[in-house]
Structure 1
Amino acid sequence: MPQPRVQSFGLDDFALDDRLRLFSYLTADNRIGYLWLLRAIESARNSYHLVLHTSEVAAALAGLAETQPDCPDPAGLELPRLLDALVDWGVLDRGQDGARATSLAEYRNRHSVYQFTEAGYRAHRAVESVLSASLNDSTLSRLVFADLLADLQALAVANAAGDAEEVYRKLSRLDRALADIAERAARFYHMLGDLGRTHDVRPEVFLAHKDALLSHLRDFYDELQRYTPRLREAVREVETTGLDRLVEAAAEADERVFGTPVERLDDWRRRWSGLRSWLAPPSADLPSEADRLAGATTAAIGDVLALLRRITEARRGGVSRESQLRHLAAWFTAAGSVDAAHALFDAVFGLGAPRHAGVAHPDPEAIPTRLSWWDAPAVELSRTLVQFGRTPGQGNGRPARIDRSASERHRLREHQLAEERRHVEAAARLAEAGPAAIGPDGAPRAGTDQDGTDQSGAEFSPDAGTDPAEPLDDAQVAVLRRLLDVALAARAPGRPDTPLVAAAFGVRLTLSPAPGRFTTVRTAGGWLHLDGYALTVAPARHTVAQRRELVPA
């Protein structure tokens, strides 16, 4: 015999489209007015005034306007129109109150009163939860584990004693607590992801909260590790008192009147299964949700430390996205003319003049000649035509001829060998001029600045028998800079005491850490200071390139 169809009402009467229409006021033109109107009705609801006339809604809105500067003046709002629109969207329910009429004429007029629908109130609270969300909501609660353990122990006692109401209370509290832990963890780890994505733009935000984040994560992880085995044992103790008895007691005390006993039993059995998977999985091989939470916390600690390391390295090296953009902005500010600024923009961002290509439509008669260029369909262009200016298939599929210019190759090779010889000769003169920048006593020798003042550093001076005042020429400085680039690029993070070495062109350069000292090198173009390092240059003949010259010198 077919079961009679149960008529739905209340929340069950809202279909999917009806529930989505509850949020229509958020996209309306006067959405701020709708929001404050609902806040006024909610404030009256909190004072147990559920049904409001239009005049009472205006009074509640005026009361909010006195305390909230952002609240609009009710005199500037068309309250009847706004209220009717909220009724059409299902947020409010409208009724008639004939008791307000004092005469027959007033009775014939409409006396509408408004109140929240249950679905409308839930939609409004969902919007308010989004508007009031803040960073402080994204935290992990380490104190909840002690409460979970106490509730599980009390649940075992109540189940053994047959106290159905206490079983229902404790099991409901455990269910809410675990749902809150999962929600807090999801928000917290999502917040960490947002923080990692924004550290390049605002690293000061991360640096201001790094200590609090690490301390919060470590405290939560320690509490989770301490309570996980105790919670697992408490779950097993509850099950030893009788799982079926536990579920039946909770379903018996359940106060939901619209569910059948079978539905309530299935619901509480499902809830206990979820609680057990969270704290004590049925098999030792299966990780619990608590174990996954501990793994996610460990990974989050590693991510925070890695992010801190990247920011520290970027700030110590002086190169980051922020510093690059600031440097580029300084270039634009120092541009001498508008044309120079445009040229810099094109060079930095790789922009150039557009390449125009004229291609006819495959079927010209399909497009009316009177149709505007803006409305006409686009014509597909090949990448080869746009980038190289030739249509695909030119040359019948054969590759293009390679232009081999022997004279140009000969000239380039001569220039390359000449540059290499010049670098080798300059390196040899550099090694002869300054084999060491460390004095006989192991301390850097004092040098003088451009103005003749004494410097607490080491001057890269020539060896005995040469003129100490003779500066390095441009070729020697070029070799020295290339070796310095190679040596400084080999710096390892966290190892400041390691000497840096680079060898090329027949010389070997060594940078020895010297905290509090610096080395001064006199060049033809000025003075080169190396802060925190002692510079040593010595011959290294094995680094001279031995190549067979393809062209005569």
Structure 2
Amino acid sequence: MAHTDPQPFAHLSAPNAPLYRLVLCTFARAKERFIVHLRPEDVAAELRALTEKHDETDRRIALADGRFAHSDVQLAQAMEKLVEWGNLRADADTGRVTSVEDFHRKRFLFQLTPAGYAAEQAIAFYEEAIGRRGALQSVALGDIAEQLRSLAVLARAADPDPATTHLLLLTLAERFSSLADNAQAFMASLRRAIDFSDGDVAGFVAYKERLIDYINRFIADLANSGARIAALLTELEDLDHHRLLWLAARREAADAVPEGADEAAAYARAEEAAFDAWRNRWRGLKDWFVSHEARSPSQARLLRQAAVTAIKQLIDAVGLLNERRSGRSDRSADFRTLARWFAEAPDDAAAHRLWRVAFGLSPARHLTVAAETVAEWEREELAPATSWRDAPPIRISPQLRRTGSYERRGKPNGVRDRSAERRFLLEHAEREAVETAAARARLRTDGPSRLSELGMLDPRAFRLFLGLLGDALSARFPGETEVKVVTSDGSMEVRLSEVAGGGQVAIRTEDGVLTGPEHVIEITDLMVTS
């Protein structure tokens, strides 16, 4: 019944996955008790015992979700599927055969296959890592310091005992690995707790006091014990700690499986590999507690900094929760109030003053307009709506382009007087405003008028006319002969009506002639009060 291509994780996505998980957990627990084979009735008894361990409430929940709701037939089918997937191996059970009928009846002994046991270990490790909250282990710090003191005593001996040295190093590595893993898991769970602060407010506020006290105690223990551990590590290195590492490596290499014909060479390779592993663990331990000023701070110092930062974040989270509970206004309410103030401003000058006060804007003292740029602006006669990609470039200093600043390093230059530039820009803006007003007055009609009656248009009036005509034509739907539209700035209104049989019309300008079908147009300047 063994499967040639094991699929030990297939049961996780099967329809009856909870039952498969319980069966495999039963075999894994039996293996921990050094029981290799189980019969189907043994598995059923284990599952019944597991059911009896739950109280009535837990048992109802378990039965509702189908964890223990199964028959002997379902259990047998589940074990057969696990054999098919390669998690279990089935061997003929001939130990209780007393008759020919028993011999021909299908009886099997089941045991975990290597692939099935490896899959169970992987799943258990995954579930433990995902559900792990972690802890800051002050006790582990004391254990690490005690193991290092014992190693220092051995290092001073002329002939240290290999077994004692190996056991001390194994305990030291186990406690250090537990400390590092738990600290990492705790900081991750702490970040999740801070992120969850928007949930149960009352619970979080009550929890944070105990948590901050817990972190403070660990920070103090880490500062004290970390200094002792760093001193012990330095002392051991002065006492030639490599001698202790070689003793542990030789003891581990003695259990290595011989490879090849040259047993001495294989033993030497195993000893060298074990020594490299211990030397790497020692380096990790030293990097955790001893800072390298030229390279980087120790992991213990980084952990203390992360713990202090976590305390600050907890306090900030509590402060934010208190602000929300006290009903303080947020930024969106402030912006709504500011918008109401703008709407209530008596004139544009008051609105500009409010803008400067609210956003802290002031004239740009760094503005520099080169004479070449000004000359090109006047030559091109650019409209305010000209796109930056179509406008002539503003030439800047290569130093500004390279360093982002006109100034050289050293004493900063004095503030330049930009009054002439500002006066020029003001005059330029006033001149544009006058020309735009003239163009608007030129295009304004006293009522409906034909396009052919517009007469000669200067360049600025023609550009404004093209914009108005484009707004009207783009707003007209197919089949319509008349359209009314207001410009985007709300300053002008255009009515455009097609003239049936009006023929073509030519509008003459200084730049050329625009031809198109005849229309009746009415342009109203909404900024002019009657």
Please tell me the TM-score bracket, short chain as reference: 0.5 to 0.7
Q: Which residue in 2 is equivalent to 1:220?
A: 218
Q: Tell me if 1:24 matches 2:10.
A: yes
**Matches of 1:243 and 1:407, distance apart in 2:** 90
**Matches of 1:314 and 1:215, distance apart in 2:** 25
Residue pairs, 1:128-277, within 5 angstroms: 128=124, 137-161=133-157, 162-254=160-252, 257-258=256-257, 260-277=270-287
Alpha-carbon distance, 1:67 to partner = 2.7
**Matches of 2:227 and 2:12, distance apart in 1:** 48
What does the per-residue CA deviation read over 1:401-431, in whole Å, with 9 as the maximum and x for residues that have no partner?
94555489xxxxxxxxxxxxxxxxxxxxxxx
**Matches of 1:85 and 1:304, distance apart in 2:** 50
- Cα pair 2:292 2:298 within 8 Å, conserved: no
- Cα pair 1:65 1:73 within 8 Å, conserved: no
**Matches of 1:253 and 1:197, distance apart in 2:** 48
Q: Which residue in 1 is equivalent to 2:111?
A: 115
**Match of 1:200, as an amino acid?**
D
Q: Which residue in 2 is equivalent to 1:444?
A: none
**Match of 1:38, as an amino acid?**
L
3-state SS of 2:71 partner? helix
Q: Tell me if 1:54 matches 2:50.
A: no
Alpha-carbon distance, 1:205 to partner = 3.3
Of 306, 312, 333 in structure 2, the residue corresponding to residue 302 of structure 1 is 312
Of 61, 79, 83 in structure 2, the residue corresponding to residue 83 of structure 1 is 79
- Cα pair 2:133 2:189 within 8 Å, conserved: no
**Matches of 1:134 and 1:250, distance apart in 2:** 34
What does the per-residue CA deviation read over 1:307-355, in whole Å, with 9 as the maximum and x for residues that have no partner?
11111122122569xxxxxxxxxxxxxxxxxxxxxxxxxxxxxxxxxxx
Q: Which residue in 2 is equivalent to 1:509?
A: none
What does the per-residue CA deviation read over 1:413-460, in whole Å, with 9 as the maximum and x for residues that have no partner?
xxxxxxxxxxxxxxxxxxxxxxxxxxxxxxxxxxxxxxxxxxxxxxxx
**Matches of 2:131 and 2:216, distance apart in 1:** 19
Alpha-carbon distance, 1:133 to partner = 7.8
Alpha-carbon distance, 1:52 to partner = 0.5
**Matches of 2:243 and 2:226, distance apart in 1:** 25
- Cα pair 1:97 1:113 within 8 Å, conserved: yes
Larger radius of gyration: 2
- Cα pair 2:289 2:299 within 8 Å, conserved: yes
Q: 1:281 to 1:93 in 2, by over 3 A?
A: farther
Q: 1:50 to 1:109 in 2, by over 3 A?
A: same
**Matches of 2:142 and 2:320, distance apart in 1:** 37
Alpha-carbon distance, 1:150 to partner = 0.8
3-state SS of 1:50 partner? coil
Q: Which runs of no fewer than 5 residues in structure 2 stay unpaired?
A: 259-269, 331-473, 476-484, 494-526
**Matches of 1:257 and 1:80, distance apart in 2:** 41
- Cα pair 2:89 2:113 within 8 Å, conserved: yes
**Matches of 2:219 and 2:169, distance apart in 1:** 25
**Matches of 2:114 and 2:328, distance apart in 1:** 58
**Matches of 1:49 and 1:246, distance apart in 2:** 38
**Matches of 1:133 and 1:281, distance apart in 2:** 29
**Match of 1:166, as an amino acid?**
T
**Matches of 1:77 and 1:140, distance apart in 2:** 48
- Cα pair 1:156 1:238 within 8 Å, conserved: yes
Alpha-carbon distance, 1:275 to partner = 1.6
What does the per-residue CA deviation read over 1:18-73, in whole Å, with 9 as the maximum and x for residues that have no partner?
6xx43322211101111222233344445443310122222222222333322414
Alpha-carbon distance, 1:136 to partner = 8.1
Q: Which residue in 1 is equivalent to 2:303?
A: 293
- Cα pair 1:141 1:181 within 8 Å, conserved: yes
3-state SS of 1:143 partner? helix
Alpha-carbon distance, 1:83 to partner = 1.4
What does the per-residue CA deviation read over 1:127-183, in whole Å, with 9 as the maximum and x for residues that have no partner?
456667898843211222111111101012223331111111111111111211121
Of 223-232 and 60-69, deviating more is 60-69
Q: Which residue in 2 is equivalent to 1:341?
A: none
Q: Tell me if 1:312 matches 2:361.
A: no
Alpha-carbon distance, 1:215 to partner = 0.6
What does the per-residue CA deviation read over 1:215-243, in whole Å, with 9 as the maximum and x for residues that have no partner?
11111111111122211110112222223
Q: 1:401 to 1:45 in 2, by over 3 A?
A: same
Q: Which residue in 1 is equivalent to 2:99?
A: 103
Residue pairs, 1:326-341, within 5 angstroms: none
- Cα pair 2:486 2:492 within 8 Å, conserved: no
**Matches of 2:124 and 2:169, distance apart in 1:** 29
**Matches of 1:76 and 1:111, distance apart in 2:** 14
Identity in percent: 26
**Matches of 1:97 and 1:138, distance apart in 2:** 45
3-state SS of 2:111 partner? strand
Greater helix proportion? 2
Residue pairs, 1:384-403, within 5 angstroms: 402-403=487-488
Alpha-carbon distance, 1:81 to partner = 2.4
- Which of structure 1's runs of 4+ aligned residues deviate more than 6 A? 132-136
**Matches of 2:297 and 2:209, distance apart in 1:** 30
Q: Provide the alpha-carbon RMSD of the alignment.
A: 3.4
- Cα pair 1:199 1:205 within 8 Å, conserved: no
- Cα pair 1:251 1:261 within 8 Å, conserved: yes
What TM-score comes out, normalization by structure 1 length? 0.51
